[in-house]
Amino acid sequence: MLYEYLVALGLCATGASSQLVSPSTITANVPFIAPTFEPSKLTGRTPALGWNTWNAYGCSISESLVLAAANQFVSMGLKKAGYQYINIDDCWSEKDRDNTTQRIVPDNAKFPNGIDSVASQVHNLDLKIGIYSDAGTYTCAGYPGSLGYESIDAATFNEWGIDYLKYDNCNVPKNWTDTPTPPGGDWYNSNSAIRYRHMAGALAAQSRPVQFSLCIWGYADVWEWGARVGHSWRISLDVNPSWATIVSIIDINVGILDAVDFYAHNDMDMMEVGNGNLTIEEERSHFAVWAFMKSPILLGTDLNKLSADQLAIITNAELLAFHQDPIIGESAKPFTSTSTSSRTTTPEYYSGDSAKGTHIFIINFSDTTDTKSFNFVDVPGLKNATYLLWDMWTATLVQGGPFTQSFSVNLAPHDTAAFLVIPL
């Protein structure tokens, strides 16, 4: 697509041995025609559930590690819980493209049988596979990026059987950045969006539907136009296994939850459950918030290291059902309660609907155990009436009910409560 356009402009030679012009030499005044293809509606309706190599292994990836994770999806019950995607992140390729075809070449030491062989084995387990590239000249780790090679790379991924593309934002040529901001604040027609739109158009030309993840780190107000280009979009810089970082990402997402719906997901980055020094309560909150805000949930740990408690968190059927609800695409959103908690920076109370009814989620951001209270009449859609509460963590009725007018719960530091409200 971009390649053909450059040929038409005389900026690129044709023929089997042709070389694309280095994207860094493409000047800003070239009249690019940006594709306007919307993402496929054959995939990505609900947020992705899967696993990604990066947080566990970084560049030390291999065919055997990827296939081991795929088999663990089956043996550990992750596939049964709804997880589908086995995603390969950065460092999977050689440092140079093929001189003749210009295709990205898999690293033969890491993937001796090729990516297509890995994809076939993942598909044989009735799972899906994802790959990684970059909307710049090189990936974040210095491997070939796809800027200027979108049609070639999309066709290559299609041939290999790829179902998901994480598209990063490193090594962007200066003329492809947005300094200053685009005229009138039209971010859909910004240089940043156009880089991603070129890959969206290339993917749309392929036979396989691909879930397109825009890893743009919250730049260019991506939540305003992301649904016109991809299925999900990163809203922040990278997560890490610290409570402060998790809270900072929640802070960002709270203000843009109106962007979330079917085929449209604010991506809060990968799961850190099983990594670092998070408490079990912090891991519960990490997972619960990603679930009720309907972010993609991509596990980012060595699955062998998950404890029984951690596995129970990430396979919680109630929270995953809310995350994957077939009727309501919107996320839970903040509401005002009667809480006397002193913390006001990040909302603690959220409610949202699903096919089952109204749900309430409460986060304790305090460093001490705290009592959290709300009035039913303050929950959107509820009234002053009599209710039972279903605990989504334990799949049991909350003792002490039925409840009238209000409810209180004691929460450990950094823990999250999750309830389904059952009217009587």
Task: State the catalytic residues.
Answer: 168, 238
> Tokens standing for 210?
């691909």
| Amino acid code (one letter) for 167 | Y
- Is residue 29 classed exposed, middle or buried when 0-12, 13-18 and 19+ CB atoms within 10 A define those classes? exposed
Which two three-digit tokens encode residue 156? 């290559």
Task: Report the candidate in 202, 198, 213, 197 with the shortest Cα–Cα distance to residue 163.
Answer: 213
Per DSSP, 229 falls in state T
Residue with tokens 């596995």: 311
Whole-number Å distance between alpha carbons of 208 and 161: 8
Pairing of strands 403-404, 357-363: unpaired
What is the Cα–Cα distance from 53 to 302, expressed in whole angstroms?
8
Tokens 């019950």 map to which residue?
77
Integer Cα distance of 60 and 366 in angstroms? 38
Contact 169, 203 (CB under 8 A): no
Residue 362 is given by DSSP the state E
